């Protein structure tokens, strides 16, 4: 759904082998998964369902293997969305809501903004207060469990989720693959964590 090519190129620049998974058999030999996405919630869930991958993604997470969601890919990890009627993957508890229009901000929220870190994770360090990332979104997630919220971004007088993290699942509302050096450093941090954590998974 939209940003597959740019995500693929960003990991190739980091000298990591990437393959596009379009069916369950494609998961064989994978060390970690990236769920990217740009577009609408319902069509994305429909497309994902047609691949037959949904039960395998749920098993992947149950087995505590690394998964990174990007933009719409973050939203699909949750239970439901104001954008449609389809059920999300439900891998994280929470709901996706439309950004409020009364904040003096443009919707969609588009452009660069600094992250506000809440906790350490393999995507961001809590002391890092100067990571500017590139956002393009009209919806944001509200996790049921606040401990799943790793970083936020300011939107008018509101704070909206920018990064979520739980166990082996991480996801970001922004586009690290389009966020220049800041995004590259974040992906490098995640990849380094995968290499260390793979020792525990095997």
Show the tokens assigned to 53: 């991958």
pLDDT of residue 39: 86
What is the Cα–Cα distance from 62 to 56, expressed in whole angstroms? Answer: 10
Architecture of domain 4-201: 3-Layer(aba) Sandwich (3.40)
pLDDT in tens, the chain (202 residues): 567 888 888 998 998 988 899 999 999 999 999 999 888 999 999 999 999 999 999 999 999 999 999 999 999 999 999 999 999 999 999 999 999 999 999 999 999 999 999 999 999 987 765 689 999 999 999 999 999 999 999 999 999 999 999 999 999 999 999 999 999 999 999 999 998 765 454 4
Partners of 34 in beta bridges: 68
Partners of 139 in beta bridges: 98
> Which residue of the set 30, 147, 177, 195 is catalytic?
177
pLDDT of residue 130: 64
pLDDT of residue 202: 40
Does the active-site annotation cover 30? no
Does the active-site annotation cover 147? no
pTM to 2 decimals? 0.92
pLDDT of residue 35: 94
> Which residue of the set 50, 71, 79, 172 is catalytic?
71
Show the tokens assigned to 81: 């969305």
> Which residue of the set 109, 118, 137, 175 is catalytic?
175
Q: Where are the domains of the chain?
A: 4-201
Does the active-site annotation cover 71? yes
């Amino acid at each position: 759904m939209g940003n597959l090519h740019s995500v693929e190129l960003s990991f190739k620049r980091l000298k990591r082998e990437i393959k596009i998974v379009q069916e369950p058999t494609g998961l064989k030999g994978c060390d970690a998964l990236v769920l990217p996405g740009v577009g609408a919630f319902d069509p994305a869930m429909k497309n994902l369902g047609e691949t037959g991958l949904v039960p395998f993604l749920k098993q992947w997470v149950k087995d505590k293997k690394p998964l990174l969601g990007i933009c719409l890919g973050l939203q699909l990890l949750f239970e439901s969305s104001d954008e449609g009627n389809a059920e999300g993957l439900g891998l994280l508890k929470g709901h996706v809501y439309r950004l409020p229009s009364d904040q003096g901000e443009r919707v969609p929220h588009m452009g660069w903004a600094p992250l506000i870190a809440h906790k350490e994770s393999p995507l961001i360090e809590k002391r890092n207060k100067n990571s500017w990332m590139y956002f393009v979104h009209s919806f944001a997630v509200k996790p049921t469990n606040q401990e799943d919220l790793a970083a936020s971004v300011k939107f008018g007088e509101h704070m909206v989720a920018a990064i979520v993290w739980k166990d082996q699942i991480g996801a970001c509302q922004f586009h690290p693959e389009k966020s220049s050096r800041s995004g590259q450093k974040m992906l490098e941090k995640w990849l380094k964590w995968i290499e260390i954590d793979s020792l525990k998974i095997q």
